């Protein structure tokens, strides 16, 4: 429309310039206000139409912000007993901050104690799947030592907590301090670096409210879908145990005893024993804990991994692949077969 009007305007101007008669001057005088004003009006109308189109296009856009009002929220806290000198102040800081944000600490906050940070994910996931809590806070403290145990525990706690969040849709706040020294840990448990437990509490409240707000308008999936999956789990667990879980657990125990006999790599044995226990959990929680094999390039860790691969790793790879084949042939065990294949890649 703008182009057509401009062409017509140019034609009128050209015709007017070719005629210098008074009549043409009169028509020129009439033309300028008469044709110029509608041109501006049309431009304004078109701009208004474009603005209205933009408004229609973005009419459905929404921006979500989690409220820091914890009224009515139910919070679950899973805390490691190991390094209790650090974890207790973190728990205190978390509770105090929750109370400051109007969470009823006496009625709506449950606390579960576990032996160490390695055990945090399995309990956090169980609490999240219960449907009872709006958010979970996982509290622990891991201080680096002289062996590869630090990397093993940190890796398992981190990946396990993340998987608990992703798998359940319930925010599981990672509040595990990973420090080089006890002094650093104490600084972050109420010392000069503040209290990380209090910070985790704020995150829990905000994330719980954010997801609730998004679910209210259909912008996020409802966690009640977990209720539809529960009947499948007993069958999956039975398939896992019968087709591989039991003898995989036995093989891991044998490997753990073997690592223990080397003395030098005894710290690995503890992790392998724990993996053996999770091998009996129906493949539900086995995968996150396999990440203990993924350690940084520390000389001790490299040597331990080489020893593991030569003595036990290749047998366990074959065992996992064999179990995966059997489970895949059963069709209903296909999901557990995938877990076994993933485990085979972790083992080496």
**Left, alpha or beta for 139 (phi > 0: left; psi -120 to 50: alpha)?**
beta
Task: Select which of 65, 149, 298, 320 is catalytic.
Answer: 149
119: Cβ contacts below 8 Å, ≥ 6 apart: 80
141 strand-pairing partners: 177
Distance CA 197, CA 201 (A): 6
101 belongs to the catalytic site:
no
What are the backbone angles phi and psi of residue 64, rounded to the nearest 5°? -110, 140
Side-chain half-sphere of 7: how many Cα atoms within 13 Å? Answer: 4
Tokens for 203, please give them.
């995150």
- Residues serving a catalytic function are 149
């Amino acid at each position: 429309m703008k182009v057509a009007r401009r062409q017509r305007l140019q034609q009128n101007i050209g015709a007017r310039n070719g005629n210098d008669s008074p009549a043409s001057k009169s028509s020129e005088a009439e033309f300028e206000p008469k044709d110029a004003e509608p041109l501006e009006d049309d431009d304004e109308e078109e701009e208004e139409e474009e603005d209205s189109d933009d408004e229609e296009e973005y009419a459905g856009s929404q921006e979500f912000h989690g409220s820091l009002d914890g009224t009515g929220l139910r919070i679950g806290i899973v805390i490691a007993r190991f390094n209790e000198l650090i974890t207790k102040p973190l728990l205190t800081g978390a509770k105090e901050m929750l109370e400051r944000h109007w969470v009823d600490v006496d009625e709506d906050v449950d606390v579960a104690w576990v032996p160490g940070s390695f055990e945090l994910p399995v309990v956090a996931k169980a609490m999240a799947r219960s449907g009872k809590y709006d958010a979970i806070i996982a509290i622990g403290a891991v201080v680096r030592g002289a062996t590869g145990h630090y990397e093993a525990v940190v890796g398992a706690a981190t990946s396990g907590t993340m998987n608990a969040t992703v798998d359940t849709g319930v925010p599981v706040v990672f509040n595990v301090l990973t420090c080089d020294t006890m002094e650093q840990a104490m600084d972050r448990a109420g010392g000069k670096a503040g209290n990380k437990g209090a910070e985790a509490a704020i995150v829990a409240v905000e994330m719980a409210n954010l997801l609730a707000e998004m679910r209210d308008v259909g912008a996020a999936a409802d966690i009640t879908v977990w209720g539809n999956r529960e009947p499948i789990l007993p069958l999956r667990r039975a398939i896992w145990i019968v087709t591989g879980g039991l003898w995989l657990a036995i093989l891991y125990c044998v490997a753990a005893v073997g690592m223990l006999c080397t003395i030098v790599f005894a710290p690995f044995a503890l992790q392998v024993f724990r993996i053996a226990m999770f091998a009996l959990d129906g493949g539900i929680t086995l995968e996150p804990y396999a990440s203990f094999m993924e350690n940084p390039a520390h000389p001790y860790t490299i040597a331990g991994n080489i020893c593991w691969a030569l003595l036990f790793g290749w047998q366990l790879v074959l065992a996992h692949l064999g179990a995966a084949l059997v489970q895949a042939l059963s069709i209903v065990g296909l999901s557990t077969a995938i877990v076994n294949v993933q485990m085979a890649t972790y083992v080496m």
